[in-house]
Amino acid sequence: MSDRTLLRVEDLHLHYQTRRGVVRAVDGVSFEVRRNEALVVLGESGCGKSSLAKALMRVLPRNIHQVSGRVMLGETELMALSDERFRRDVQWVRMALVMQASMNALNPVVRVGEQVVEPLRVLRRWPRARALARAVEVFELVGVSTDFLRRYPFELSGGMRQRVVLAMALVTEPELVILDEPTSALDVLTQAGIMNVLKRLKRELGTSFILITHDVATSSELADRVALMYAGEIVEVSDAAQFFDAPAHPYSQMLMASVPRLHQEQRPEPIPGQPPSLLDPPSGCRFADRCPSRFKRCAQHPDSFRLGDRRRVRCWLYAGGDER
């Protein structure tokens, strides 16, 4: 692992048990995040993005069928830690998660300042005054007036509540912050404000981010790297500039062609068809049914092929590269 690598995920699986069978929400996912890097995990609804975040952060529902793989945070092998050690040393300490719609999950009867310092009070046992002094710092960082520390969530707009949730994630100075659709419930202007805060945080704090989104426009704002998910797998992971300029996987190409753009002569082309069910995904390439480039070999499950230095594509078209 290069010393710039903060997180390395190898062959991560998260399968759920349901009455209808096993749902393979995360099905053999590998990627890495460097220090001070933002990786965007992009993909359509239901492809397994939130499940990936939950598996990394060990926020798991009860109906787990399988969770496996290797996750290294710095020198720490996370999957080998007991729940107790994980909670004490990693969760909210080195790695924080801003869950989807978490701005609506703030406790309505507790002042936001008290909520923001809770990780410090509970995990670090900081006295109240010291913790509140840190809250002032993080409020300034995320652009919320410190007058708001004494307010209740209902007194804040959606955008301000989202910043408060971000402040809560940052209060312990984690090395990695995972953000699951942090702007999807907000209007366009408020979304832009949050994205600007994230860009500034990345610049000023040196924190690494995993930003989960279904929205190509949002992803292009912050991304250094992009991992595109499809039906529980990562089909392409590459530098953001490469991904947006010259996407390699046929799904990446079709996704980019489906996005409306200013100054674009061609009309956006929606991708025909539907992703397969994760209950019983096809044994070959999961995108084959929708892929205009499919050929005989796509009936077999493709490996992830290396294409240049830090790019990998799960598609037989690239089988000439080094297999892994």
Ligand X SMILES: Nc1ncnc2c1ncn2[C@@H]1O[C@H](COP(=O)(O)OP(=O)(O)OP(=O)(O)O)[C@@H](O)[C@H]1O
Q: Which residues bind ligand X (CB under 6 A)?
A: 16, 18, 23, 25, 43, 45-51, 61, 63, 214, 278
Give me the residue label for tokens 């790019």: 311
Phi and psi based region of residue 163 (left: phi greater than 0; alpha: psi -120 to 50; beta: remaining): alpha
Starting at the edge strand found earlier in the chain, the sheet holding 21-34 runs: 21-34, 5-18, 64-73, 76-77
Min dist. Cβ of residue 228 to ligand X (A):
12
Cβ proximity to ligand X: between 143 and 281 the closer is 281
Cβ proximity to ligand X: between 49 and 225 the closer is 49
Cβ proximity to ligand X: between 73 and 278 the closer is 278
Name the strand (E) or helix (H) holding 25. strand 21-34
Give me the residue label for tokens 């996407």: 247
CA 181 to chain centre: 8
β partners of residue 34: 5
Min dist. Cβ of residue 240 to ligand X (A):
20
Min dist. Cβ of residue 254 to ligand X (A):
18
Cβ proximity to ligand X: between 258 and 264 the closer is 258
Cβ proximity to ligand X: between 29 and 138 the closer is 29
Min dist. Cβ of residue 87 to ligand X (A):
20
Min dist. Cβ of residue 225 to ligand X (A):
18
Q: Is the Cβ–Cβ distance between 235 and 312 less than 8 Å? A: no
Distance between CA atoms of residues 280 and 287, nearest Å? 14
Q: Is the Cβ–Cβ distance between 44 and 69 less than 8 Å? A: no
Cβ proximity to ligand X: between 93 and 259 the closer is 259
Min dist. Cβ of residue 49 to ligand X (A):
4
β partners of residue 230: 233
